[in-house]
Amino acid sequence: MKTAAIVTAKRFTAAKQRMSGAVPEEKRLALVEAMLGDVLEAVTGARQLAFTLVVTGEDAAETLAIGHGAEVIHDPADAGHVGAAELGIARARELGADSVLLLPGDCPLLEPREIDRLVTGLPDPFVTVVPDRHG
């Protein structure tokens, strides 16, 4: 199975808005960038992924993605998670992927071995949804 990672990253200024009252903007933006960097480290360190795509309209995210060897899909309209996922899936199919792992750019503590364990030996077709704290 050829699995692609698709990481969606919104504009940094639009991310982590719930923190805006408690955390100064420059620190919030730095956190968003650091979290995306951590996700890209984990994804590019996973052995079971064929390639990584990053869907974003954020210039800094694009630079970070390229630095990690990911292909960038431009999302100038910032289409949201679903729209970004659709853009990424379409490109992954063009590149021959038969499965994808969709990840937001802010998954704390993600490890390459967890990704490998998740995508190894899955039946075809297979869908896993990891809920947020709201279920």
Q: Is residue 124 part of a domain?
A: no
- Do residues 6 and 89 touch, judged by C-beta distance below 8 A? yes
Tens-place pLDDT, residues 14-65: 666 566 676 676 777 788 888 899 999 999 999 999 999 999 988 998 999 9
Q: Is residue 39 part of a domain?
A: yes
0.85 exceeded by pTM: yes
Q: Is residue 125 part of a domain?
A: no
Q: Is residue 106 part of a domain?
A: yes
Q: Is residue 131 part of a domain?
A: no
Residue 118, judged by CB atoms within 10 A of its CB (0-12, 13-18, 19+), counts as: middle
Which among 6, 5, 115, 12 is positioned nearest to 63, based on CA atoms?
Answer: 12
Q: Is residue 133 part of a domain?
A: no
Question: CA-to-CA distance for 122 and 6, rounded, in angstroms?
Answer: 18
Helix (H, G, I), strand (E, B) or coil at 101: strand
Q: Give the CATH number of the domain where residue 108 resides.
A: 3.90.550.10
Q: Is residue 41 part of a domain?
A: yes
**Of 44-48, 106-110, 131-135, which has the strongest mean pLDDT?**
44-48
- 58: domain range? 3-119
- Among 50-54, 71-75, 126-130, the minimum mean pLDDT is found in 126-130
Q: Is residue 134 part of a domain?
A: no
Instruction: Please state the domain count of the chain.
Output: 1
